[in-house]
Amino acid sequence: MAEKMNQTQNFLKGIVKENPVFVMLLGMCPTLGVTSSAFNGLGMGVATLFVLLMSNIVVSLVKSQIPSKVRIPAFIIIIASFVTIVEMVLEAFIPFLYEQLGIFIPLIVVNCLILGRAEAFASKNNLMSSILDALGMGLGFVIALTMLGAVREILGSGSLFELKFVSENANTFILFILPPGAFIALAYLTVLFNKISIKTS
C-alpha cells in the first residue's frame, strides 16, 4: 500500500508540487522561446515529454553499468540520441510541426529538465518509478507550456489554437508574442500558480 502511494506521488509531484516550469524553473529556454502560441507550446511540450520518458527509461536501466565519473557524458549521449530521433521523425512525418519548432528541437538536448531528472531521479530509482517520474514531470511541462502559449496567443494574436475570436484588423497586444511578453506572462503565471498551490496545500 505504501509502495502504491509512493508511486502515485512520483507521478503527481511533477504536475503541481514540483512543476518543472512554475516551481523549479527548469527548461526556461524552450519555455520562453517557443510559446508564442498554444499549439507551439503543446508541440514542444510533447516532444520534450517523449525525450524525457525515453531517457529516464534508458538511464534507469543502465545506471548500474555506468561508472559515476563518466555518468554525465553518458547521459548526454543518451539524451542527444533521442532528440535526434525525435527531430528526424518529426521532419519525416509531421513536417508542419517541425517547421514551427525549428531550432528549438535540437535544443531539447540542453534542456536542464531532462538532464536534471536523469541525474536526480532516474539514476537512483528503479524503472517503474522513473517512468512515472518522467510522465509526471513531462505532463507538468506540457501543461505549463500550453498554458503560457495560450495566454500569449490570446493576448497577442487574439486567438486560441489558431481560432481567431477578434476581427482581422483588431489591435492586439503584439508585445505578448514578442520575447518580453514571454517573461511577463511567465512571471504572472508563476505567481498565480504558486499562490493557488500554496493555498491548497
Partner 1 sequence: MSKKKDTFLNMVVSLFVITIVAGFSLGFVNDLTVGPKAKAKLEKKVNALKLVLPTFDNNPVDDILLVQSELAKDSIEMYPAFSENKFVGAAVIGSTEKGFSGLIKIMVGFNEGGNIKNIEVLEQKETPGLGTKMKDEKFLAQFREKNPSNFNIKVTKDGGEIDALTGATITSRAFGEAVQMAYDEFVDNKDSLKKSKK
Interacting residues with partner 1 (CB under 8 A): 36-37, 40, 62, 64-70, 73-74, 77-78, 80-81, 84-85, 88-89, 91-93, 95, 99, 102, 156-157, 168, 174, 177-178
Lookup: cell for 140:
507538468
Q: Which is nearer to partner 1, 61 or 187 (CB)?
A: 61
Q: How many CB atoms lie within 10 A of CB 198?
A: 8
CB of 30 to partner 1, least distance (A): 14
> Is beta strand 159-160 parallel, antiparallel or unpaired with respect to 163-164?
antiparallel
Q: Which is nearer to partner 1, 138 or 149 (CB)?
A: 149
Q: Which is nearer to partner 1, 46 or 58 (CB)?
A: 58
CB of 67 to partner 1, least distance (A): 5
Q: Which is nearer to partner 1, 15 or 78 (CB)?
A: 78
3-state secondary structure of 160: strand
CB of 150 to partner 1, least distance (A): 14
CB of 201 to partner 1, least distance (A): 36
Identity of the residue numbered 60: S
Lookup: cell for 17:
508540487
CB of 80 to partner 1, least distance (A): 8
Residue 16 CA to residue 22 CA, distance in Å, equals 9
Q: Which is nearer to partner 1, 26 or 38 (CB)?
A: 38
Residue 55 CA to residue 164 CA, distance in Å, equals 38
Q: Where are the alpha helices (DSSP H) in the chain?
A: 2-12, 28-33, 38-62, 71-93, 95-101, 112-117, 127-157, 179-200
